[in-house]
Amino acid sequence: MTRGKVRVLVAKPGLDSHDRGAKVVARAYRDAGMEVIYTGLHQTPEQIVEAAVQEDVDVVALSILSGAHSVLVPRVAELLRARGAEDIVLLVGGIIPEEDVPALREAGAAGVFGPGSDLDEIVSFTVACLERRRSS
């Protein structure tokens, strides 16, 4: 994990084509002084993890509106572990039923954010996760 400017990869896995929320969150990270890499639409978990490793990011933020979060999040977490990149903070946002949140956290998501989440709260949560990981 880098020690300078925070690097965040914002990704849209799966077939979901609605990326407005992802771009809004990416802008919030950028406005907070973080470097943002946006992968674009229709990324596979493998492409996302490859980009995360290549770009040496601190955070992977997934935006999922398709309902495939229960498959995509565990797969991304599994691939990060397989690449020795479990120190990357994994976050997920989108339309995610409350009853699915515990399973996503257990799979490796440090945070799960639904529609209408406060952008400052997302950024603050991200910074707090990074500070905890860096101090451990």
* pLDDT tens profile 65-105: 999 999 999 999 999 999 999 999 999 999 999 999 999 99
Q: Would you state the pLDDT for residue 134?
A: 87
What mean pLDDT, rounded, does the chain reach? 95
User: Does residue 3 register a pLDDT over 80?
Assistant: no
**Where do the domains of the chain lie?**
7-135
Max intra-chain CA distance, the chain: 38
pLDDT tops 70 at residue 2: no
Q: CATH assignment of 7-135?
A: 3.40.50.280
